[in-house]
C-alpha cells in the first residue's frame, strides 16, 4: 500500500539551505503520511444491519488473458473482469529502522516475515477460501527484487500455521502461494512492488525501478520471475513496478529518454518479457505516482496516467497492455498524503465534491478506457484503493469510499483492494484489511456485521458488468522513436538492422502506417478497415530514393519522395536526428491494395480529415493522416534551407 510520499521536482532549488530543508521534508514525510486518524471528526451514523456474505461465483475462464480495446478478455474472447485484492507481505513490512525481528518496527505492527502476510496465523487454504468468499477472482501478489535473491530461510514463527513451509526461502514460499492460488482457480498478477524488502512508499530506496539496483538487473529479475511461472497459465500478468515517484533530488519522467524515464523503462522491459520469456502475459504499467517538492509555492503533482494521452505504449504484441492507477482518500491530485511535514494546502481526494471527484478521476485515469479508438485506449486496473474499517469514523473518509465505489461501478472498472489480509487482536488492529486473523487463528471478516464497508463492497462485487464475448476492435498504435529504436514488429526484430545508425520505428505486425508528424518523429499505426496486410510469404523493401515514382505521377513536385512500389504499403520509417532517413515498405497479397492516390500535406497545419481516429499522436506538432480506407504509400520531404528534411506529406492510396 501507499504511505504516499511528499516529494517534488519543479523549479530550481535555490541555495544549500533550501536543499537541506527540502531533503529533511522528503525524508520525514514518509513517516508522517500513513492514513491519518479521524481525530476530531464526528462519527458517522450507525451502520445498517449485517449483510450476508457477497458470495459471487466466478465462471470458468480460459487463460491466457489479452485485451480488446478497453476490455480484458480470456482465450475465448469473453470479458474477464479483474475483481482483485492485494495479498501483501512478500515485498516487505519492515519500516526501515530498528530490528526487523521486532513487530513494532513493521508497518502497523504487522510483521509478514518476508512472505505473504498471515501465514503465521491461518492455514493457506483458509486464507484463500476467504478470498473466494468475498468475491475475489484474482490476486495482485507483491514481491521485492531482494526477495528473489534472499537465501535465508523464513523463521518457523512466520509459517507457524503452515508448518510444511518451514525451512524454505521467501521465494520458495512465494512459489507455493502462487501454486495454491492458481489451483483454487484464481488468477495471479505478479507485482514488483519494491527493490528492497521493506515497507513502501517514501524516500526508502524503492522510489524507482532502478533506485537500489541497475535497470539491467531489474530487467533480468523480471525475466527470471516470468520464466519461473511460465508453465502456470493462471499467472496472467506482470505488474512492472509500484508507485514510481521522486527521490530526494530527482523526479521520474515520461518520455525524456534518460535514466529516470519510466515510459522508456517500462516499454523496454515489457517487450523483453513478451519476446524472451512469455508472450501470453498481460503487461501492467502504472502511471507516475509523484513528482515535485511538496511545499506550497513549488510545483508538485500526482501525474498518474495523464501523460498517457500524449505518449502511450506500443508493445511488440498488441492486446497485452493494461494501465494501472492507485487512489486513496487521504492523497490528492496535488497532495502527497502527508500530515504535518510534507503536507501542502492542496485538497485531498476526500475534500472534493462528488462532481469534482469524478472530473479529477476521469482526467487522471479513467479517460483511458472511456475514449475509444485512440492510440492510448486500454483497460485501466485500479490496482490499489482502500480505507480503514471498523475504527474509521470520519465522515469525509467514508463518503469518499462510497463515491469511489460508485466510480468503479459507473465505469465498470477492473480493481484490486488494498489489502486483503491483516492482523487483529480482540477485534482491534490496523483495520484496513478485509480479512483479519488474530494470534490464535481466529478470523475477523468483512461480513461479521460490524464493518461499515460491507455494504459498499457488496455493491461493488455484485454490480452489473459487461460479460460474455467482446468482439475484436481496431488497434491504434503510436510510434515514438524519440530517443532510440521503436520497433514494435516481431518480424522486423528478427531480421538484420535495416538502417544502421538511424532510429527506426515499425508498426506492430498486422498494422500499417497511417499517420506521421511534421516534426517530432511520431507515427500512427492501425489495422482499421483492412486487418493484417503483410503477405506472410513476401519480404520488405527499404526505400531511400525515388525509384518507385512513376513518370508523370509526381505526387509532391519539388520534394524528395520515398515511395513504396505498387503492391506495397508503408509499415515503418527511420530518422536521423529529425530528418527522414528511409521508408520501410511491405508487400501485400495481390488485390489488397489499390493504386489511385492523393497527397496529404501537413507542413503548415494538421491534415487528418474531419473525424480522425487514433487521437493526437504528436501533441503540439502538425500531423498528416490517411483515411481509414486508405494506406500510406510514400513520404515526401524537402532538403531546402530551414526545412530539416522532416516529413511534409504522405501519399495515401485506396485499399483494394
Q: Express each pLDDT in 140-150 by its tens digit.
A: 999 999 999 99
* Cell of residue 99, nine digits: 530490528
Q: Cβ contacts of residue 524 below 8 Å, gap of 6+?
A: 375, 476, 477, 478, 479, 513, 514, 515, 516, 614, 617, 623, 625
State the pLDDT at residue 537.
86
CATH of residue 267: 3.20.20.80
Predicted local confidence at residue 639, as pLDDT = 87
pLDDT tens digits for range 367-391: 999 999 999 999 999 999 999 999 9
Contacts of 43 (CB under 8 A, 6+ apart): 393
CB 654 within 8 A of CB 630: yes
Cell 464475448 sits at which residue? 469
Cell 517500462, residue located: 266
Q: Which residues contact 497 (CB under 8 A, 6 or more apart)?
A: 504
Most distant CA pair in the chain: distance in Å?
89
Residues 6+ apart with CB under 8 A from 17: none
Q: Is the pLDDT of residue 277 over 70?
A: yes
| Residues above pLDDT 70, as percent of the chain | 91
237 and 284 part of one domain: yes
607 part of a folded domain: yes
- Alpha carbons 315 and 269: distance in angstroms, whole number: 10
Q: Is 16 exposed, middle or buried (0-12, 13-18, 19+ CB in 10 A)?
A: exposed
Give the separation between CA 588 and CA 586, rounded to whole angstroms.
Answer: 7
253 pLDDT more than 70: yes
Same domain, 453 and 529: no
In a domain, 281, yes or no: yes
Band of residue 642 on the pLDDT scale cut at 50, 70, 90? confident
How far is residue 511 CA from its own chain's centroid? 23
Give the pLDDT band of residue 352 (cuts 50, 70, 90).
Answer: very high
* Nearest-10 crossing angle of helices 170-183, 124-133: 40
CB 496: neighbour CB atoms within 10 A?
6
Average pLDDT value for the chain: 91
Domain-located, residue 2: no
pLDDT in tens, 62-113: 999 999 999 999 999 999 999 999 999 999 999 999 999 999 999 999 999 9
pLDDT range class, residue 11, cuts 50, 70, 90: very low
pLDDT of res. 58: 52
499, 541: one domain? yes
| CA neighbor of 295 nearest in space, from 340, 342, 338 | 342
| Integer Cα distance of 631 and 652 in angstroms | 6
pLDDT digits (tens, 9 = 90+) for 190-226: 999 999 999 998 788 899 999 999 999 999 999 999 9
**CB neighbours (10 Å) of residue 478?**
26
The contacts of residue 259 (CB under 8 Å, 6+ apart) are 210, 215
User: 497 and 363, same structural domain?
Assistant: no
Confidence tier at 59 by pLDDT (50, 70, 90): low
Q: Which helix (H) or strand (E) holds 651?
A: strand 649-655
**Does the pLDDT at position 3 exceed 70?**
no
Q: What percent of the chain has pLDDT over 90?
A: 87
Quote the strand ranges of 305-434, DSSP E. Answer: 321-326, 380-385, 414-417, 421-423
Confirm if 72 and 414 have CB atoms less than 8 A apart. yes
Measure the CA angle with vertex 477, ends 415 and 561; round to 5°.
170
The answer to whether the bond into 75 is cis (omega within 30° of 0) is: no
Looking only at the bridges linking them, the beta strands covering 512-517 and 623-625 are: antiparallel
Write the DSSP assignment of 157-173 as a string of letters: GGGTT-GGGTT--HHHH
Residue 205 and residue 142 share a domain: yes
pLDDT of 40 above 50: no
Is-contact 204 144, C-beta < 8 A?
no
Range of the domain at 383: 84-341+354-387+431-462
Give dist(CA 516, CA 522) in Å, integer. Answer: 6
Q: Which of 462, 484, 509 is a domain's end point?
A: 462
The answer to whether residue 46 is domain-embedded is: no
- Provide the pairing of β-strand 630-637 with 649-655: antiparallel
Residues 596-612 pLDDT 10s? 999 999 999 999 999 99
CA-to-CA separations, 156 to 64, 161, 172, 280, in angstroms, rounded: 36, 9, 14, 37
Residue 454 lies in a domain: yes
Tens digits of residue pLDDT in 407-460: 999 999 999 999 999 999 999 999 999 999 999 999 999 999 999 999 999 999
- Are 230 and 138 members of one domain? yes
Instruction: Supply the pLDDT for residue 641.
Output: 83
Query: Of the candidates 461, 467, 449, which has an alpha carbon nearest to the alpha carbon of residue 132?
Result: 461
Start-end of H helices in 91-242: 124-133, 145-149, 170-183, 215-228
The answer to whether the peptide bond before residue 201 is cis (omega within 30 degrees of 0) is: yes
- The reply to whether 511 and 440 lie within a common domain is no
Tens digit of pLDDT for each residue in 552-606?
999 999 999 999 999 999 999 999 999 999 999 999 999 999 989 999 999 999 9
127 touches 421 (CB < 8 A)? yes
Q: Is the omega angle on the peptide bond into residue 64 within 30 degrees of 0, that is, cis? A: yes
566/437 same-domain check: no
Is 62 among the domain residues? no
Q: Based on the fold, state whether residues 102 and 236 are members of the same structural domain.
A: yes
Please state, in angstroms and rounded to a whole number, the distance separating the CA atoms of residues 27 and 8.
12
Which is nearest to 117 in space by CA: 440, 437, 397, 366?
437
**Is residue 194 a part of any domain in this protein?**
yes
pTM of the model: 0.93
Are 370 and 362 within 8 A, CB to CB?
Answer: yes
Q: Are residues 557 and 452 in the same domain?
A: no
Residues 1, 432: contact at Cβ < 8 Å? yes
Instruction: Answer yes or no: do 509 and 600 share one domain.
Output: yes
Q: Is the confidence at residue 45, as pLDDT, over 50?
A: no
The number of domains in the chain is 2
**Cα–Cα distance list, 426 to 340, 440, 443, 444 (Å):** 31, 11, 10, 9
- Cβ atoms of 635 and 647 within 8 Å: the answer is yes
Cell 485484492 sits at which residue? 85
Residue 450 lies in a domain: yes
Task: Report the distance separating Cα 616 and Cα 440, nearest Å.
Answer: 58
Let me know how long the chain is: 656
Q: Are the C-beta atoms of 312 and 266 separated by less than 8 Å?
A: no
In 3D space, the residue among 244, 202, 246, 173 whose CA is nearest the CA of residue 95 turns out to be 202
Q: Last residue of a domain, which of 439, 462, 485? A: 462
133 closest CA partner among 430, 425, 420, 426 = 420
How far is 1 from 628, CA to CA, in rounded Å? 44
Residue-level pLDDT at 536? 82
Looking at the structure, tell me whether residues 485 and 618 fall in a common domain: yes
Amino acid at each position: 500500500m501507499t504511505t504516499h510520499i511528499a516529494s517534488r521536482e519543479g523549479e530550481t532549488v535555490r541555495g544549500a539551505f533550501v536543499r537541506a530543508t527540502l531533503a529533511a521534508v522528503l525524508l520525514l514525510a514518509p513517516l508522517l503520511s500513513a492514513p491519518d486518524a479521524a481525530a476530531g471528526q464526528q462519527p458517522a451514523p450507525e451502520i445498517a444491519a449485517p449483510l450476508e456474505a457477497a458470495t459471487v461465483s466466478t465462471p470458468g475462464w480460459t487463460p491466457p488473458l489479452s485485451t480488446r480495446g478497453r476490455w480484458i478478455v480470456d482465450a475465448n474472447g469473453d470479458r474477464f473482469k479483474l475483481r482483485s485484492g492485494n495479498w501483501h507481505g512478500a515485498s516487505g513490512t519492515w519500516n526501515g529502522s530498528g530490528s526487523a525481528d521486532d513487530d513494532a518496527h513493521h508497518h502497523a505492527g504487522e510483521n509478514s516475515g518476508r512472505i505473504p502476510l498471515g501465514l503465521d496465523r491461518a492455514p493457506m487454504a483458509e486464507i484463500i477460501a476467504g478470498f473466494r468468499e468475498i468475491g475475489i477472482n484474482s490476486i495482485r501478489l507483491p514481491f521485492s527484487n531482494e526477495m528473489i535473491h534472499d537465501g535465508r530461510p523464513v523463521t518457523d514463527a512466520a509459517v507457524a500455521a503452515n508448518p510444511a513451509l518451514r525451512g524454505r526461502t521467501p521465494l520458495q514460499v512465494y512459489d507455493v502461494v502462487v501454486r495454491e492460488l492458481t489451483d483454487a482457480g484464481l488468477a495471479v498478477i505478479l507485482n514488483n512492488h519494491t527493490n528492497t524488502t521493506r515497507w513502501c512508499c517514501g524516500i526508502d530506496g524503492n522510489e524507482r525501478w532502478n533506485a537500489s539496483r541497475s535497470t539491467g538487473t531489474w530487467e533480468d529479475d523480471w525475466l527470471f520471475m516470468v520464466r519461473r511461472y511460465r508453465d502456470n497459465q493462471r499467472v496472467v500478468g506482470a505488474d512492472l513496478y509500484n508507485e514510481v515517484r521522486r527521490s530526494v533530488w530527482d523526479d521520474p519522467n515520461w518520455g525524456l529518454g534518460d535514466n529516470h524515464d519510466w515510459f522508456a523503462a517500462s516499454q523496454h522491459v515489457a517487450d523483453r518479457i513478451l519476446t524472451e520469456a512469455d508472450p501470453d502475459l498481460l503487461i501492467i504499467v502504472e502511471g507516475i505516482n509523484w513528482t515535485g517538492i511538496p511545499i506550497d509555492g513549488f510545483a508538485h503533482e500526482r501525474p498518474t496516467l495523464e501523460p498517457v494521452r500524449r505518449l502511450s505504449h506500443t508493445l511488440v504484441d498488441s492486446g497485452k497492455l493494461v494501465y494501472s492507477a492507485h487512489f486513496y482518500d487521504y492523497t490528492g491530485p496535488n497532495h502527497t498524503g502527508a500530515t504535518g511535514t510534507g503536507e501542502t494546502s492542496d485538497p485531498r481526494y476526500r475534500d472534493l465534491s462528488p462532481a469534482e471527484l469524478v472530473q479529477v478521476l476521469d482526467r487522471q485515469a479513467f479517460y483511458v478506457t472511456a475514449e475509444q479508438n485512440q492510440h492510448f485506449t486500454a483497460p485501466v486496473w485500479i490496482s490499489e484503493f482502500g480505507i480503514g474499517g471498523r475504527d474509521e469514523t470520519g465522515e469525509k473518509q467514508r463518503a469518499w469510499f462510497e463515491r469511489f465505489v460508485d466510480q468503479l461501478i459507473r465505469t465498470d472498472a477492473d480493481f484490486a483492494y488494498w489489502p486483503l489480509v491483516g492482523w487483529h487482536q480482540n477485534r482491534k488492529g490496523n483495520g484496513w484489511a478485509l480479512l483479519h486473523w488474530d494470534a490464535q487463528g481466529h478470523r475477523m471478516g468483512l461480513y461479521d456485521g460490524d464493518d461499515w464497508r460491507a455494504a459498499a463492497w457488496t455493491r461493488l462485487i455484485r454490480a452489473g458488468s459487461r460479460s460474455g464475448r467482446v468482439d475484436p476492435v481496431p488497434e491504434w498504435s503510436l510510434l515514438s522513436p524519440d530517443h532510440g529504436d521503436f520497433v514494435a514488429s516481431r518480424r522486423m526484430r528478427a531480421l538484420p538492422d535495416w538502417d544502421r545508425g538511424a532510429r527506426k520505428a515499425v508498426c506492430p505486425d498486422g498494422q500499417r502506417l497511417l499517420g506521421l508528424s511534421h516534426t517530432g518523429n511520431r507515427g500512427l499505426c492501425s489495422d482499421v478497415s483492412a486487418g493484417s496486410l503483410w503477405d506472410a510469404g513476401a519480404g520488405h523493401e527499404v526505400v531511400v530514393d525515388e525509384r518507385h515514382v512513376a513518370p508523370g505521377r509526381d505526387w509532391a513536385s519539388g520534394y524528395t519522395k520515398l515511395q513504396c512500389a505498387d503492391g506495397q504499403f508503408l509499415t515503418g520509417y527511420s530518422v536521423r536526428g529529425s530528418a527522414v532517413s528511409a521508408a520501410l515498405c511491405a508487400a501485400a497479397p495481390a488485390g489488397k491494395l489499390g493504386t489511385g492516390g492523393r497527397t496529404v500535406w501537413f507542413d503548415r497545419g494538421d491534415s487528418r480529415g474531419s473525424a480522425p481516429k487514433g487521437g493526437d499522436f504528436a501533441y503540439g506538432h502538425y500531423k498528416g493522416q490517411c483515411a481509414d480506407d486508405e494506406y500510406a504509400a510514400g513520404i515526401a520531404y524537402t532538403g531546402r534551407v530551414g526545412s530539416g528534411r522532416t516529413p511534409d506529406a504522405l501519399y495515401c492510396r485506396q485499399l483494394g
